[in-house]
Structure 1
C-alpha cells in the first residue's frame, strides 16, 4: 500500500506515518519510483499504537511493546504487558485521587468566594482563600 492508502485506511496523517517510521514503529520499503510501500502489518501496528495511545503510553513504551508482541509468544506478551498496564492503572488512580482532592479544594474556595460581602475596602489575599487556611 502507498502512504495515501494507509492514511485513508487508518485515518493517520501521512506526516504521522513518516514520524512513526522514523521512530521504528512502522516500516516501509521503497518502490523503484521512490514511493513508500507499506505491508498489511503497518495497519496492524497503527491499530496497536492507537489503542496504546488511548492508554496514554508513550511512544517508547509502545515501540518496546510492539517489539515484544512481534518477537514473543502470547504468554511472553501477556507477562510483559501485565506489569506495564498495572503500573499505568496505578498512575491513573493516583491522578483521579489528586483530581478529586483538587475538586474539593476548588468547590470549597468557590463557596467561600461566593459568600464574600461587597466591600469598597482593599481585599486581603487570604480573604479569597480563607477556606484553605
Structure 2
C-alpha cells in the first residue's frame, strides 16, 4: 500500500505516518521511483499504536511494547504490559486526586469571591485566594 492508502484506511495522517517511520514504529520499503510501500501488517501496528495512545502511553513506551509483542508470546506480552498499565493507572489516580483537590479549592475561592462585599479599599491578593488556604 502507498502512504495515501494507509492514511485512508487507518485514519492516521500521512505526516504522522512519516513521523512514526522516523521513530521506527512502522516501516516501509521504497519503490524505484521513491514512493513508500507499506505491507498490510502496518495497519495492525497502527491499531496497536492507537490503542496504546488511548492509554496515554508515550511513544518510546509504545515502541518498546511493539518490540516485546513482535518477539514474545502473549504470556510474555501480558507479563510486561500488566505492570506498565498498573503504574499508569496509579498515575491517573494521583492526577484525579490532585484535580479533585484543585476543583474543591477553586469552588471555595469562587464562593468566597462571589460573596465579597463591595469596598473602596485596594484589593489584596489574599482577598481573592483566602478560601484556598
| CA deviation after TM superposition for structure 1 residue 71, in Å | 0.5
Partner of 1:66: 66
1:108 maps to 2:108 = yes
TM-score by length of 1: 0.97
- Residues 39-73 of structure 1: per-residue CA shift (max 9 Å, x gap): 11111111111111111100000000000001000
Partner of 2:47: 47
When the two structures are aligned, how many residues end up with a matched partner?
133
Query: Where do 1:70-109 residues align within 5 Å?
Result: 70-109=70-109
C-alpha root-mean-square deviation of aligned residues, in Å? 0.8
Residues in 2 aligned to 1:122 and 1:58: alpha-carbon distance in whole angstroms: 48
Partner of 2:129: 129
Would you identify which runs of 4 or more consecutive aligned residues in structure 1 move more than 6 Å?
none
| Structure 1: gaps spanning 5 or more residues | none
